[in-house]
Amino acid sequence: MFFLNQAGTVLEMGFIYAVVALGVYITYKILDFPDLSVDGTFPLGGVVFAVLLTAGCPWPVAMLASFAAGCLAGLVTGVLHVKLKINGLLAGIITMTALLSVNYLIAGGPMVSFSQESTMLQNGLTDGLPRLGSAYVQVAFTLLLLAACKVLLDLFLKTKSGFLLRATGDNPQMVTQLGKNIDNYKMLGLSLANGLVALAGSLYCQYNSVFNSSMGTGTVVIALACVIIGCVIAKHIRVMKDTTGVIIGAVIYYAILTVAMLLLGSDYTQLIVAVLFVLVLVFDSGLIGRAVKKLFRRKKEGGDVRA
Question: CB–CB of 192/23 below 8 Å?
Answer: yes
At 240, the amino acid letter reads: M
**Closest C-alpha to 223, from 16, 9, 33:** 16
The 10 Å Cβ neighbour count of residue 78 is: 28
Question: CB–CB of 34/51 below 8 Å?
Answer: no
Question: CB–CB of 13/19 below 8 Å?
Answer: no
The yes-or-no verdict on residue 64 having pLDDT over 90 is yes
Number of Cα atoms under 13 Å in the Cβ half of residue 68: 8
The fraction of the chain above a pLDDT of 90, given in percent, is 61
Question: CB–CB of 198/69 below 8 Å?
Answer: yes
* Whole-prediction pTM: 0.90
What confidence tier does 9 reach under pLDDT thresholds 50, 70, 90?
A: confident
State pLDDT tens for residues 227-263: 998 988 888 888 899 999 999 999 999 998 888 888 8
Alpha carbon distance 261, 80 (integer Å): 38
Rg (CA), the chain: 21
Please, where are the H alpha helices in 36-116?
A: 38-54, 59-82, 88-107
